Amino acid sequence: MKESVRLQYLAAMGIDVWVPRHQSVREQVSAEVVGCASQTEAYQGDMVEFQTAVTPILASTEVAGDHKHDLTSLTAPARDALAPVTQHAKVYTDDQAWKGLQQQVSLCRACSLCETRTQTVFGVGNKHASWMLIGEAPGRDEDLQGEPFVGRAGQLLNEMIRAIGLQREQVYIANMLKCRPPNNRDPQAGEVEACHEFLTRQIGLIQPKIILAVGRIAAQNLLNTTQPLAKLRGHQHSLENTPLVVVHHPAYLLRSLSEKAKAWEDLQFAWSVYQSLES
């Protein structure tokens, strides 16, 4: 992205310009793009054992005799993911693991949100991304379109991503919940629990270098804490052995425009954490 365009985005967000002393943003962006390309090459030759790449999400519910998922309509990789680990003799590619996981999500009936959803909202973006953003749950637009962060908040999230020199397509975006809670109410503990393994599997397949928890609800649930956002932001946390940084939710920023400067601080902090991982 051109520097002039980036500056326009920042101006649109009402944010002061910040440039790291030791490296220009342009250099950082091209380094990120090159990183993506080399990661992709590395992944292409990479075969993973299904046993490790695809943990049987529903094994526990199966053992309990609780058949909440329709196994008959699953593809082979998805069906194998549900089988006991000892039966995983086959070797699958990441691609097959993704397909199996996406199918399991689309058929999931583990909580009552399946009754009211239009469709599941799996996740979108670069499956080898260095940056993974995790929001709370799909809203109305996301439920209709089947993609996370596509409404007004999504547009501002895109601006936030661009503000750190990345494109939406370069990162991976997912939500804690894959189904919309009615009237956008807060997710309930049981719903978060039911979806947890799907998110863990996504993180395992992507293996991002850094995770951004987008908003208070995502941050508190992912970090299993009741601390307020003000306490959680500005610190490096960890999820699945991956550094995690908490950022303001764009929907909150749309309601409180004066808080945009704080969002920029969050992004600056996330960028500095990312930089520290590289060195």
Contact call for residue 175 and ligand URA (CB under 6 A): yes
Contact call for residue 149 and ligand URA (CB under 6 A): yes
Distance CA 278, CA 258 (A): 32
Distance CA 125, CA 148 (A): 10
Contact call for residue 135 and ligand URA (CB under 6 A): yes
Using the contact rule CB under 6 A, the part of the chain among 24-32, 73-81, 92-100, 135-143 near ligand URA is: 135-143
Identify which of residues 58 and 157 has a Cβ nearer to ligand URA in the complex.
157
Identify which of residues 170 and 175 has a Cβ nearer to ligand URA in the complex.
175
Q: How many residues bind ligand URA (CB under 6 A)?
A: 12
| Helix ranges (DSSP H) in the chain | 3-12, 25-44, 50-53, 59-63, 76-82, 94-107, 113-116, 140-145, 152-163, 189-206, 216-223, 229-232, 250-255, 260-278
CB 242 within 8 A of CB 214: no
Contact track, ligand URA, 233-252, x by CB under 6 A: ------------------x-
Identify which of residues 81 and 137 has a Cβ nearer to ligand URA in the complex.
137
- The token pair that represents 124 in the structure block: 């979108």
Cβ-closest residue to ligand URA? Answer: 135
What is each CA distance from 178 to 210, 220, 245, in whole angstroms? 21, 17, 21
* Greatest C-alpha distance within the chain: 59
Identify which of residues 122 and 149 has a Cβ nearer to ligand URA in the complex.
149
Binding site residues, ligand URA, CB under 6 A: 135-139, 142, 148-149, 153, 175, 215, 251
